[in-house]
Structure 1
Amino acid sequence: MGRPPLRRMSMAQMLPNLLTLGAICAGLTSIRFAVEGRIDHAIFLIILAAVLDGLDGRLARILKSESAIGAELDSLADFLNFGVATGMLVFMTMFHLENSLGWIAVLIYVICCVMRLARFNVGIKTPDADAIPGYFTGVPSPAGAMLALMPIALQHAFHSIPPIATPLMALWMVFVGWLLISRIPTPSLKLVRPRAEHMRYLIVGVIAMIAILFTWPWEALLALDLAYLATVLWSFIRSRRRLDRKDAR
């Protein structure tokens, strides 16, 4: 039997994979900037990687260029950018390089990140019967990375506050790792389906958010993290109430 014909792809259909590779480059460069002490640039590249991560999958679906290689690349990029690069950035910024407690906390965070990604990949092939449509199970890795970076944003936004104690920072990293592998249902952007007549307001809001991020980056990142934590708390309370009603039946 002959080999099956190779599938030809246009340059446009290759764009999602190029975005994923660009995100990987952003994550690797973030590690370099963290080593050099250029924290602002390093965090910006993590945020850029998160934006590219949100675009590549949607673009692949629009262009009908989804592939097994693209899915594997996306998962590897998420582990590098939101696990390894974010963990190294936090370690070099918030912990002393010789701090063993900080390194253990970072290791726990990164391991939780890779476990969360593995569970997500398995869930694609074998859907979880208990999963809620339109919700993630646990905090997704890009959001987890933003939460891990929140103490850095806090210290840059408010210079007058004292440095965060190492045990407290280590506890925060472990807590974020737990959020990644938890069973808490967290909302997905797929739930956002604005009406056509409201799109102009959404576009204006997104532009305003981008302008705020460029004007007050640390304060904006901190505010977004706090808003997301409030959303996770709301989802947790709602899921507990749903389970209580289910058990009461």
Structure 2
Amino acid sequence: MRPPRRRLPRAPARDFSLLQLLPNILTVGAICAGLSSIRFGVQGEYLLAVELIFFAAVIDGVDGSLARLLKSNSRMGAELDSLADFLNFGCAPGLLVYFWALQDMRSAGWLAVLALAVCCVLRLARFNVAMKAEDDVLPGPALPPGYFMGVPSPAGGLLAMLPMYISFAFTSPGGAHEPVLPGIVTCAWLAAVGLLMISRIPTWSLKAARIGRENVKFLLVGVAVAGAALLTYPWETLILLCAAYAAMVVLAFVRPPRQRHRG
């Protein structure tokens, strides 16, 4: 007769402080901002809707670094962040552009929105698998340090709304903010941004940037100037930032950085 198995004592559940839960709380707040932006887009309040997407992008740039700083990284937090990215940068921007300018185009406009959303979710799936495997899904040379493969989803979501920035910048503050670009151009832009997200173009990662001590003062001045410009001329500044980022992507495509090969 076999002796009865002794059950091993379970490890005590780990308790989290409210401070350690702050990154996940921020991510949930970003999800609420993305959903609220869709609501305001349906109601025609496009300025507030775009601002909420920008707010979600700021949170996305902070929550991961905060989690590492507080040593509260978790698989749940990573999955939550990925779901938030899909909602905030794959769904909400395309829907806002559709409600604002593409409803009259019907099928073509909706296909462009679908293309953006599908490309975003494919990019996030590829990134998640690559992070779990500590390698890239697709064969070939690895990326140089400090680079993403393709345009990240937050940058893609902000780029997708460029036609709205142009309209807001070149119409009066009290105007109706009618589209400046033709609908077919807006559709093509949404599809192009989606393709950039799933491309293999190495794009520079702001999070991996390193600044020399002698250049810190210039960076702080630049951040202050950019912040003041965003508050004073928000749409013109966003247009310039999108143009600068697009130029970086084109430069990386024409002259890709040196890649390190796997051993």
Report if TM-score (shorter chain) is over 0.5: yes
CA distance in 2, matches of 1:29, 1:162: 22
Structure 1 equivalent of residue 67 of structure 2: 60
* Consecutive aligned runs of 4 or more in structure 1 exceeding 3 Å deviation: 159-163
1:74 counterpart = 2:81: yes
Post-superposition shift, 1:75?
0.2
Amino acid at match of 2:99: M
Of Structure 1 and Structure 2, the greater helix share is in 1
Structure 1 equivalent of residue 204 of structure 2: 187
- 1:137 is aligned, of 141, 149, 174, to 149
TM-score when normalising by structure 2:
0.87
Confirm or deny: 8 A CA contact 2:164 2:179 kept in the other structure. no
Change (3 A) 1:171 1:98: closer
TM-score when normalising by structure 1:
0.92
Structure 2 equivalent of residue 15 of structure 1: 22
Post-superposition shift, 1:166?
1.9
How many residues align? The count is 243
CA distance in 1, matches of 2:158, 2:150: 14
Confirm or deny: 8 A CA contact 1:83 1:110 kept in the other structure. yes
Confirm or deny: 8 A CA contact 1:91 1:97 kept in the other structure. no
Structure 1 equivalent of residue 238 of structure 2: 221
SS in structure 2 at match of 1:12: coil
Confirm or deny: 8 A CA contact 2:101 2:179 kept in the other structure. no
Which is greater in Rg? 2
Structure 1 equivalent of residue 48 of structure 2: 41
Amino acid at match of 1:152: M
CA distance in 2, matches of 1:80, 1:119: 17
Post-superposition shift, 1:98?
6.3
CA distance in 2, matches of 1:116, 1:58: 21
Q: Give the gaps of 5 or more residues in structure 2.
A: 1-7, 173-177
SS in structure 1 at match of 2:73: coil
CA distance in 2, matches of 1:116, 1:53: 16
1:152 counterpart = 2:127: no
Confirm or deny: 8 A CA contact 2:166 2:180 kept in the other structure. no
CA distance in 1, matches of 2:105, 2:230: 33
CA distance in 1, matches of 2:66, 2:127: 20
Q: Percent identity?
A: 53
SS in structure 2 at match of 1:114: helix
Deviates more, 1:47-56 or 1:86-95: 86-95
Q: Give the gaps of 5 or more residues in structure 1.
A: none
Alignment of 1:160-179 (within 5 A): 163-179=180-196
Confirm or deny: 8 A CA contact 1:82 1:145 kept in the other structure. yes
